[in-house]
Structure 1
Amino acid sequence: MRILVTGSKGFISKNLIAELKNFGYKHVYEYDRDTEPSLLNEYCEKADFVFHLAGVNRPKEQSEFMEGNFGFTSILLKTLKKYKNTCPVMISSSIQAELDNPYGKSKKAGEDLLFNYSKETGAKVLVYRFPNVFGKWCKPNYNSAVATFCHNVAHDLPITVNDRSVIMNLVYIDDVVIELIGALKGNEHTDGDYCVIPKVHTITLGEIVDLIYNFKNSRQDRSIPNMSDQFTKKLYSTYLSYLPKDSFSYELRMNKDNRGSFTEFLKTQDRGQVSVNVSKPGITKGNHWHHTKNEKFLVVSGNGVIRFRKIISNEIIEYFVSGDKLEVVDIPTGYTHNIENLGETDMVTIMWANECFDPENPDTYYLEVKL
């Protein structure tokens, strides 16, 4: 299938083209403002589907709105008619097409042009009125508040919020791309004359800003945002894509002593925390028990033994563990337990606890496993 994508260097187009290639589409014609104009003839003659994503958002002169959003659409459709190519044409419009401003008028003019083209030629047309689209590769300080906020916060730059109560309707770039590829296959979602993105997120501007700052702070407090919330999950992925190239990594506080080290890695609000424990050869750690706190131990390097004893019993249970055979050992409540390094190198254990450590209520009581 031969696919023409106009505005190929734009935000939506870059994501769409990348996914089209992932799906195995080999003939994707990429057309942008710096493409040799004569190629439009070749592409329009051969195309089996057109994603018309070219447009003008922030021109120097208001007249450029109509030139870019109506004028080029007219050229594209005339070229398709020249070659009697009635393949489906998708156009990216905007919810602002309903508004009486230069940008909205230019988008509405492009829509009308496409609907008239369909009546004249019988070609299938798909008009999408996108709300605010966010996600990776969106240009900051241009026409996306989310992109600007993510970029500025990630780069320690100030942001300006005039009204935190402003309600935003947003769609995520991956959801847009999924819908567009569905439209390519004839499975578009519609609402009357228009096509729609099924998943729209409604949230206030202030809530977006608070989330982004929480993402930034999560590196210091080692927390993970609530990934069960779909918008938070998508916004967090977006925020990470704006990190400076020299800031992908961040240090963790290692609590070291002569036995090895213990480092908290991740904390969550409702799924506990993950830590990394390093034990030196011959060292035993633990010898304590919990009422409600429970843990999972996974030795990933070295070898050792995990011992248990129910605090009201004399029986000692042993589990021999090794990084050569990854297995998780549950640490039940009411059992005093320890872990001993039996090897000649450091033993590394990933430890999960069902709750984040609370120094005011540690639920940890010292008791030797061995009697």
Structure 2
Amino acid sequence: MKTVLITGSNGFVGRNLSVFLAQRKNLKVTGFDVDDDQSALSSLVAGADFIFHLAGVNRPQNVEEFTSGNTGLTQTIVSLLQSQGKSTPLLISSSTQAAQDNLYGISKRAAEDAVFDYGRQTGAPVYVYRLPNVFGKWCRPNYNSAVATFCNNIANDLPIQINDPTVTMSLVYIDDVVSSFIAALDGMAAVQDEFCQVQPVHTARLGEIVALIRSFRESREDRRIPDMSDPFTKKLYSTYLSYLPTDQFSYPLKMNVDERGSFTEFIKTPDRGQVSVNISKPGITKGNHWHHTKNEKFLVVSGQGMIRFRKIGSEEIIEYVVSGNKLEVVDIPTGYTHNITNTGEADMVTVMWCNEMFDPEKPDTFFEPVELSHE
């Protein structure tokens, strides 16, 4: 069994990596963090078959901590490996700031140099990642991630401050970072000009990110689902949900209730239509209308009933028995007037999907009874 050491194991990236690696039965994962006994580091390094060095300092109490927490700790790990005569593969999470001449960037660049030197001197595989902004679940808000701060504050109805909404951010998602790290562990890192790459890198203006996050909050009111076909939106929405207050995971829907039962819209999408939940009382028939282009799918999940169809211009009635005991989707084709009747003794619950959101200006819904009167 291979032993993997993660420094910074309680941090944002380290915590996510630890959870992923714990699912691999052929690995033993050990961790080291800033609060741990420093004397334990030597034995942890000695026992590791692969080291993820993710510990670092980016918001120090004093500037000297940049050197000790970034450069110094890295040099300590490298010195321990060399003194132990080891050539253990070493991965370090650096920052795109390492290309800058600020104090943080200088300390990260010196840490990179220590790792590259270790690789050249020992022949050990080394993996240096200059990460841009990383976002995802478990990132600490109001610390070093604007995305985490915006998600947390908007989800918790707290104020946010945007200094320049036109600033373009480069971001990588935590799951993509972890996948790239695991690829390095498996000897399949993507390397370009000495540095390992995480793909994809998403770019977005600060103002656009905030607008998206605000739309996530508003989606509970208008029941719209974000555009999940866009990879960045999908990842940002998942991130936002992780910051919801624990007493606000649920939210109410507007139930349209009358003596027949109820009709409640669940979710809406601009390109995939909407889903609603229909509850019918025993003996109640709903529908008796048809559509030119609009189409639907009905799924009875509780109770029992009958769906009837009649093609416009025809007298033939087609019947489908439906029941929550046998989940079966019934398509509602265009050009057929249709209705659904609760034939049981309890409420009948039907999940209804429509291919488009309801447009009161163009409802495409025309009343006509399924059963014709021959009086």
Q: Same fold (TM over 0.5)?
A: yes
Residue 363 of structure 2 aligns with which residue?
A: 362
Displacement of 1:203: 1.0
Does structure 2 retain, via aligned residues, the 8 Å contact 1:44–1:85? no
Displacement of 1:306: 0.2
How far does the alpha carbon of each residue in 1:23-57 deviate from its partner, in whole angstroms, 9 at most, with x for none?
A: 33441111001122232122111111000000001
Which letter maps to 2:354? A
Correspondence 1:23 to 2:15: no
- SS of the residue corresponding to residue 159 of structure 1 reads coil
How far does the alpha carbon of each residue in 1:235-262 deviate from its partner, in whole angstroms, 9 at most, with x for none?
A: 0000000001111000000000111000
Residue 169 of structure 1 aligns with which residue?
A: 170
Does structure 2 retain, via aligned residues, the 8 Å contact 1:94–1:128? yes
Residue 260 of structure 1 aligns with which residue?
A: 261
How far does the alpha carbon of each residue in 1:212-235 deviate from its partner, in whole angstroms, 9 at most, with x for none?
A: 010010000000000000000000
- SS of the residue corresponding to residue 69 of structure 2 reads helix
Which letter maps to 1:201? H
How far does the alpha carbon of each residue in 1:136-158 deviate from its partner, in whole angstroms, 9 at most, with x for none?
A: 00000001000000001001111
1:351 & 1:262 partners in 2: Cα distance? 10
Residue 47 of structure 1 aligns with which residue?
A: 48
Residue 59 of structure 1 aligns with which residue?
A: 60
Which letter maps to 1:324? N
Residue 314 of structure 2 aligns with which residue?
A: 313
Quick one: percent identity of the two aligned structures? Answer: 63
2:331 & 2:117 partners in 1: Cα distance? 67
1:35 & 1:25 partners in 2: Cα distance? 25
Residue 95 of structure 1 aligns with which residue?
A: 96
Question: Number of residues paired by the alignment?
Answer: 371
Which letter maps to 2:293? T
- SS of the residue corresponding to residue 307 of structure 2 reads strand
> Where does 1:134-145 land on structure 2 (aligned, <5 Å)?
134-145=135-146
TM-score of the aligned structures, taking structure 2 as reference length = 0.98
Residue 291 of structure 2 aligns with which residue?
A: 290
Does structure 2 retain, via aligned residues, the 8 Å contact 1:261–1:279? yes
> Where does 1:81-120 land on structure 2 (aligned, <5 Å)?
81-120=82-121
Does structure 1 retain, via aligned residues, the 8 Å contact 2:4–2:27? no
Structure 2 portions without partners, runs of 5+: none
Does structure 2 retain, via aligned residues, the 8 Å contact 1:295–1:330? yes
Residue 7 of structure 1 aligns with which residue?
A: 8
How far does the alpha carbon of each residue in 1:181-215 deviate from its partner, in whole angstroms, 9 at most, with x for none?
A: 00000000011111110210011111101100100
- SS of the residue corresponding to residue 126 of structure 1 reads strand
- SS of the residue corresponding to residue 202 of structure 1 reads strand
How far does the alpha carbon of each residue in 1:307-334 deviate from its partner, in whole angstroms, 9 at most, with x for none?
A: 0001110000000011111111000111
Displacement of 1:77: 1.2
**RMSD between superposed Cα atoms in Å:** 0.8
TM-score of the aligned structures, taking structure 1 as reference length = 0.99
